Structure 1
């Protein structure tokens, strides 16, 4: 019993002496001891550039100003961590028992300088130093040994982060706040993070299971929620410290443009005017920046797409996808005002392209530079704002601000189109296409694309075109190209050739035809045609002239003819069509119509005169012979004969 009492007394005396020594030990000395232990455990040098204070019980605490932690020897001279103030709290009772339990680790205005080397090792990988070794202990593939301590709480306020993956563009973040709770060394970490990539706060609430194993490079369960102005994202799955992850991603936003801005989207790029959007997908991400999305559902406003996609992240992401959908409305992707041109024409508003000309509002397709893509679409319908497609197979390729849309085929204007359309915004905006089509309703095609719906019928043909400019007016005024078309039964509205050529009521102001064929070229915004052929019941019409695609005017001449039973022409009355599309002037050209009749009368008079002169002169005058020459020759011959008789000849 006495022995036990003596041992207890000795222990008490030892503790009192130890506490007394600590009380008289300056804070700087304590900091040096702490720094020495940290360097021994991590291989990194810790320096204190300001005041150092401490507490003893129940928390052994150190509070130091201007603290720096050195970098890995391969990562450069800049410290890996600096902080204006660092506070460390250690449970004193656990420390006496030989366990280091950090109850608080706080840093004010810290700066983290993170990087990786070629083998993937991060400069944040820490390890104990062997005798005679300096710098960080090597660790394979970013793994780190289990920490010699447990940290219950970590707080960073106003942190700045620079992350430089080997061979890639560094990522920099400022004004980052972090609150991490880790009550059990082998348990789950709860983290609340605030990022400000574009000024506005983005909140991240994350849970990482078996965090100690996660830090050691093992795969752990991960859940994270991202919330910001107008956006919510949620991920549940598994990941490791290198960033590789697999799981389920869901998200929604009520304002796409605002969401992209909050998340640090590209500045100066106009985003499509999409409001609400949703995403749900199985996700796999690898550390080389590749993202695989399977069982993917995308919703943007009323549009819904399903399928799969692969994304290669970078300065300009590359998307490869195969998607299917029902009825899609892409009119919001077009610049405001231009998508409604045909509708405005029908309504007769101030933006009517027929009455006021094409819109001169500048179109901005800068958003084409935001990504590269190769997307296959199988859809039941698409509304682009100016053109509506039916069931269609489409391939969209987007590369360096140049978009190519292929129809494989596409249903449009009650017919089918094959070929491709191109929008190129690399050096100014240009549009072009090469298309073949069949069963196209012309009143829909011309009405929806050019506001001209007077020609009706199903067309077969080809079209190749190119336009340059930053507005619809500039593009239409620069159009060049060529094409041809054939139309079966159809009709023109606005004039009635049958009523013009025959007596009767005609067709009520329309020209009904059996067939129409034509070829054309385009230059400087004008469509030029020389071989229009139109066949009607007992009539035939030929046409030539100019259709002003840019100026929206006409200067065209129809020449309808009444045919005899043998196919010869009985009567022709040319019809001139001039003026704007909205109100063309249609007038018979009577002067041209009468020219053949005048010519016929003149020819009959010449024939009768030739016959009379032949009788009077007693000589045959051929039709091709000049009458004046025939008279002169006859006079010369008669004078010669009279002279010979006078001289006594025969």
Structure 2
């Protein structure tokens, strides 16, 4: 019995002896058991305080974990924290920069031993993030964090019912967006849906669409998908496609469509000073290379004109620089009205801007023709520009314009159009214009050179002028002060000279101009014929906006017309007297001086009634004695003589 008992005791004690024989195994078992118990029973909320202090020290902001902190340990640890709050910059009126109802962070443990942070998944529930711009920069800049070095690797981001706000009070911008991850078969490419509204540069703003996960921004070689539609006031933009070059946000390219009712609306939104225009639609490729933004290969319409080319904006300078190489196959001349402070005169079937046309109607009701809308001095001083614009064909009813070539140069308030060139009536009109807006009142100097304009095409709507032959040339040099076209011309000083060499015009036109009833009836009943023109010449001195004739003559083989008078550019009034002097004899001639008067908008062309009335009275008196004698009062003996006119243009 004792032997058996001893044998059994020895058998039961062998495992204990084995453990006692290897003490390190004993320690391992105890530690493992303790860790298991600790992990199962440990309250991870004990770490909330240390974590809050570490984050606050790293960011310089307050940080609070208002809910539970929990950790599931494994090769990939899962950290969950509820009701997180990150404080805002001390200059902000809003106490919180970011909050989230729950953060779930998956962290690979083994890479931590090598100093690498690998996060396979990051999930946010109801995050609310405020990005706010201030005088010293954005609230996304944290004290003590340089942003240098390699950040954590995050494979997947999932946002549930998020909110993103951007505020820039100085620029009247406040945008509030809803953000949520969209479900896809491949979670690694799960896009973010965006939708919201607010104000951008003071204009009502809306945005909808989707972008790839922001985690994809780190992949510089992988296209970043984007499809966003935004509107600010009446301006709309659609950015879509895949950004094929991306490094942070300093370099990218994508397709961008722009449309709106007026290109001038781009100034408050983007800082690009443009004139008033009719509605526009453009589409092209938007490329950013650090401080340079290029709108490449765009095409579309502005009003009833097509417009294409490339535009470039350079930021980071004292003044924004706008450069462009633009072209139009067909340019509706009405669409240029905004460049001179006017409004498009849109007819039936044309594209118009209702607000601009309402302003034009007010000016028309006041009987004024010249644009009097002041130029915005702030715009002229706040942007630099170098733009070349060519139009192959111009549609301008009533104007004999063929094509256009203009270069617009703007630097610190000094604007130059050099050249401003039009093909007109088979010839060319080349101008240089200099507008100095560096003072309170714009000083304008204009030099206009017209060469080889065909006389018949200068009056395209006049049937009697269709057969006219001759080429007109001239020089106009003006200087004026004022902030609108009307004011500049009202103060203008300078010279204006026009001349024409040999040609021919309708004899009927000349006889009607001279009120030679017999000759006019003869050509009306029979067949009109052309009369040779020897020359024509007009020379005006311009002072304080008033053009005064120094010489004015139109000489043909049978009539010379000489003139005198003034054209008031400020009051928009005509006061010219034309005196026909026939070189032949005719009866039924009422060769009284002709008066051109009235306003620019409603000019008048009539005989001098006082002198015409005197001739009529003589004819009635003679007719009462003997009817045939009345013809003596209208008999013209032809005192006109050939003149020497045309000057350097009489070629």
Query: Is the pair's TM-score, using the shorter chain for normalization, greater than 0.5?
Result: yes
8 Å Cα contact 2:511-2:519 kept in structure 1: no
Q: Out of 312, 329, 341, which is 1:326 matched to?
A: 329
* Equivalence map 1:30-429=2 (5 Å): 30-35=47-52, 43-44=58-59, 47-49=62-64, 51-54=66-69, 60-68=79-87, 82-85=97-100, 87-91=102-106, 100-106=119-125, 108-112=127-131, 135-136=144-145, 139=148, 144-147=149-152, 150=155, 152-154=157-159, 157-161=162-166, 174-179=175-180, 188=189, 190-194=191-195, 196-198=198-200, 199-203=204-208, 205-207=210-212, 211=216, 213-214=218-219, 218=220, 220-229=222-231, 230-253=236-259, 255=261, 260=266, 264-265=269-270, 272-281=276-285, 283-287=286-290, 289-313=291-315, 317-329=320-332, 331-334=334-337, 339-340=344-345, 357-359=367-369, 362-363=372-373, 365-366=375-376, 369=380, 371-383=383-395, 389-399=401-411, 403-407=415-419, 409-421=421-433, 427=440
1:483 maps to 2:503: no
8 Å Cα contact 2:424-2:453 kept in structure 1: yes
CA drift at 1:316: 5.5
CA RMSD of aligned residues (A): 5.7
> How many correspondences in the alignment?
541
Unpaired segments of 5 or more residues in structure 1? 127-133, 344-349, 565-570, 595-650
Unpaired segments of 5 or more residues in structure 2? 1-14, 19-25, 113-117, 349-359, 616-651
8 Å Cα contact 1:493-1:510 kept in structure 2: no
Local SS of the residue matching 2:244: strand
TM-score (norm 2): 0.64
Distance between the aligned counterparts of 2:132 and 2:367, measured in 1?
A: 59
1:208 and 1:220, CA in 2 relative to 1: closer, same or farther beyond 3 A?
farther
CA drift at 1:326: 0.5
Distance between the aligned counterparts of 1:209 and 1:65, measured in 2?
A: 21
Local SS of the residue matching 2:150: coil
1:502 and 1:148, CA in 2 relative to 1: closer, same or farther beyond 3 A?
closer
User: Larger C-alpha radius of gyration, 1 or 2?
Assistant: 1
Distance between the aligned counterparts of 1:505 and 1:89, measured in 2?
A: 100
Partner of 2:603: 582
CA drift at 1:417: 0.8
1:123 and 1:547, CA in 2 relative to 1: closer, same or farther beyond 3 A?
closer
Local SS of the residue matching 1:274: coil
8 Å Cα contact 1:35-1:46 kept in structure 2: no
1:572 and 1:210, CA in 2 relative to 1: closer, same or farther beyond 3 A?
closer
Local SS of the residue matching 2:39: helix
CA drift at 1:445: 5.5
Distance between the aligned counterparts of 2:152 and 2:135, measured in 1?
A: 20
Distance between the aligned counterparts of 1:563 and 1:37, measured in 2?
A: 110
CA drift at 1:383: 4.6
1:163 and 1:386, CA in 2 relative to 1: closer, same or farther beyond 3 A?
farther
CA drift at 1:248: 3.9
TM-score (norm 1): 0.64
Deviation digits for residues 162-183 of structure 1 (CA, Å, limit 9, x no counterpart)? 799xxxx999755354446899
Distance between the aligned counterparts of 1:478 and 1:511, measured in 2?
A: 41
